[in-house]
Chains A and B, each alone.
Chain A
């Protein structure tokens, strides 16, 4: 009697000490919504499945066709330009604004909170609505607001969204507007954590403002800048909603970034195999960048 009670207690104790029940809901949700779909998408990428039929065969045809299609390289180029330009300017403006707000705060200037809030608002607005708003602003007639600004400089109206190159520029600019806030707030947080005495010491040693920025501040902020860089790169690679609302990928495929291309192949052309193969490319990008992120995070923790 006594022993079984003790046994039960031990059993109950083991159950109580196990992290499993606490992690179970998370495990179930992530398995169902991530592991299963990722497995499926990889499987479908090796088939000729269409969205409509249930029959399909296993083949590597989707990948072979993908690398032969000229549209694939165009899509990669468009995505590359979009991501590189977005990330570069988001980081640059984000850092600049973070510095300005930090300086303003030190000088206890009025309106600092208003500026910070205005930038952050752009981040909180749903991507679709950002797309719609910018589409309205890019109106190509003379009653469009950007074309009005252009005319103030004595130029003709511009085909912001119907010229392929200009459309890519237009989409990227809107995305910079949208994403700068995130980098700004991250780097602003980073600047707040810098030890004040080091900055003071550099000042006393006669370092100019520019030298203090490049020789003291940037090296200390390097880890957080790198982390920021990766997060916004992944985010930009995954951009879908804003481009969808702004150009729908057009004209032609000139603004069809990778996430949009996956959607179009599957839901417009019903070509599941092809779309899944493209999705695998995006997946590899996502996973690759996460690994880099982890490496940086690991290094940061070692210090």
Chain B
């Protein structure tokens, strides 16, 4: 055991580290929030004020009115929700087959799935852009969502396969004796026992899809359809330096949903990331 003095010193040292880490990671966010509440004159103050003199909440009202940021958020919600649903409907059966069936070519299949996960989204977007432009499918949410699904599908399948592998096969056998079909084994045994794993995948897919940029940037060109990432990027290129406070407000609004979700679910997210990590 550590002596009391040693323990005190360790704790003080660790608290100092905590402070440095918190400062480094929270500062950018706090600075954007501070900017988003400044008046236009205060933007150019030298030295810059850390805490705004007057809290100009009207910046938020203005950016909402002028930029369609709420519309972008709504689009992101639609895309992310659809992506999560289609991903689960595709990844769960596939993970089930890989975990429970014996078949030739299983390991090559796993390798191919892993490969696809490593391929850059820029690389795949280019031929898809060409194809969709020919077929008049640019600005089409259905194909866009399929591409979103494809990006998260490999890791979701690996993750769920890993989760199903931890459920003893004896449970399947008991179900077979009771006369369950393959489909019933999945819906009555594996899915109910894998709820934590499915929740983890849902969270990870949602966070990743919310951040997705390259795919909508290349495959959409109608500004009313943009998700948050592309919308805010657009906002940046149309705003001038005199309106940095508005850009900051727009950025804050667009990360708010993720941050709220994150703080509420942080325990699950750490669980999801660590269980995913340990399984490779």
Contact = CB atoms under 8 A, between A and B. Distances in A.
10 contacts: A33-B147, A100-B18, A100-B21, A118-B22, A128-B213, A130-B28, A186-B274, A259-B214, A272-B130, A283-B119
B194 to A, nearest CB: 15
B21 A97 contact: yes
Contacts, number: 273
Given A132-B251, A185-B274, A290-B114, A126 B228 contact: yes
A259 B119 CA distance: 11
Given A129-B254, A238-B122, 6 more contacts: A30-B150, A103-B10, A132-B236, A141-B46, A185-B273, A279-B126
Nearest to B259: A121
A39 B229 CA distance: 29
A240 B121 CA distance: 9
B189 interface: no
A297 to B, nearest CB: 6
Nearest to B248: A136
A100 B17 contact: yes
Interface in B225-280: 228-230, 232-233, 236, 244, 247-248, 251, 254-255, 258-259, 262-263, 266, 269-270, 273-275, 277-278, 280
A213 interface: no
A244 B111 CA distance: 31
B232 A129 contact: yes
B18 A33 contact: no
Number of chain A interface residues as a range: 35 or more
Interface of A: 16-19, 21-23, 25-26, 29-30, 32-34, 36-38, 40-41, 44, 51, 97, 100, 103-104, 107, 109, 111-122, 124-130, 132-137, 139, 141-145, 148, 151, 177, 185-186, 188-190, 192-193, 224, 227, 234, 237-238, 240-241, 244-245, 259, 262-263, 266-267, 272, 275-276, 279, 282-283, 286-287, 289-290, 293-294, 297, 300
A145 B48 contact: yes
A237 B48 CA distance: 35
Interface stretch (B51-59, B60-68, B96-104, B166-174): B96-104
B94 A26 contact: yes
A224 B280 CA distance: 8
Interface of B: 7, 10-11, 14-15, 17-18, 21-22, 24-26, 28-29, 31-32, 35, 43-48, 89-91, 93-94, 96-98, 101, 103, 109, 111-116, 118-128, 130-131, 146-147, 149-151, 153-154, 157, 181-182, 207, 210-211, 213-214, 218, 228-230, 232-233, 236, 244, 247-248, 251, 254-255, 258-259, 262-263, 266, 269-270, 273-275, 277-278, 280
A12 B134 CA distance: 41
Nearest to B266: A117
> Chain B: interface secondary structure?
helix
A173 B51 CA distance: 25
Contact of A189 (B111, B230, B233, B278): B278
A19 B11 contact: no
Nearest to A96: B17
Nearest to B93: A22
A181 to B, nearest CB: 8
Given A113-B266, A121-B29, A107 B48 contact: no
